[in-house]
Amino acid sequence: MEERGFTLSRPQETASGFRLDGKAAIVTGGASGIGKAIAERFAASGASVHVLDLELGAAEAAAREISEQGGKAHPHGCDVSRPDQVDSVMHEIFNRERVHILVNNAGIAHIGKLENTSEEDFDRIFRVNVKGLYICMRAAVEHMKASGGGVILNMASIAAWVGLADRFAYSMSKGAVMAMTNSVARDYLGHNIRCNSISPARVHTPFVDGYLRRTYPGREQEMFEKLSHAQPIGRMAEPSEIAGLALFLCSDEASYITGSDYAIDGGFLNLHG
């Protein structure tokens, strides 16, 4: 590893890797950022991917890109915090094909301490990041139980492990994600359902770029470098790197792994300071 302040090179994309041939996957929040990278990687690995997103147009665009690259993708507009919408979309998908994989990636962020987190903000974070996972997992588990099993992968965060400044409500929600992951993994062992979570540190997504433009106009590059070097490895993760871990955990090669959380954090948890 190079001295701190320098960056390690990003991995090169290869044609080899874990395969999902003959499997169908649902990816929530699949039209941008980490979710889009996961949908693309799964499709490139042989899966039929259902891209769920709050904006149907964004889901259609993502699915079209995947199809143009030779993959199989189906777009769906869905608010994961709405049981009626989730149940309707899931019913449509389950009638089309057996679903083997659910990736709960949809989520929203919030910046604020306890005292400046409004009740409305708290409820909004809980409704999407916690209740949204509950609603989606409830629908998927019923289907997976009836069809011989499956894999559920939830997107947690290093915010569930350590106290990050100004992330009170967000940290709360990701701690709940980890607890739900463990509970589902334990309760459905006998139904051949595996459930794990991933805890990323900072990932370079459109959300980050938008946050920097809004919060630090004119200082975007300076603050990007500062945030990047908060990770001991010297940079933010790329969405494709999170997708690589997601692919492994949802593949048959990870068949002995359940009830686990995987930090993908550039050394943040163990090497910080």
The residues carrying an active-site annotation are 170
Structure-token pair, residue 37: 């990278």
Q: Which residues contact 195 (CB under 8 A, 6 or more apart)?
A: 137, 151, 152, 153, 154, 181, 184, 185, 188, 258, 259
Helix (H), strand (E) counts: the chain: 10, 7
Structure-token pair, residue 20: 């999902």
DSSP H or E segment with residue 51 = strand 48-53
Taking the C-alpha atoms of residue 165 and residue 113, their distance in angstroms, rounded to an integer, is 7
Structure-token pair, residue 236: 């933010």
CB atoms closer than 10 angstroms to residue 273: 3
CB-CB contact of 50 with 76 (8 Å):
yes
C-alpha atoms less than 13 angstroms from C-alpha of 116 in its C-beta half-sphere: 7
Q: Which residues contact 62 (CB under 8 A, 6 or more apart)?
A: 30, 31, 32, 36, 39, 51, 53, 73, 75
Question: SS in 3 state form for 52-86?
Answer: EECCHHHHHHHHHHHHHCCCEEEEEECCCCCHHHH
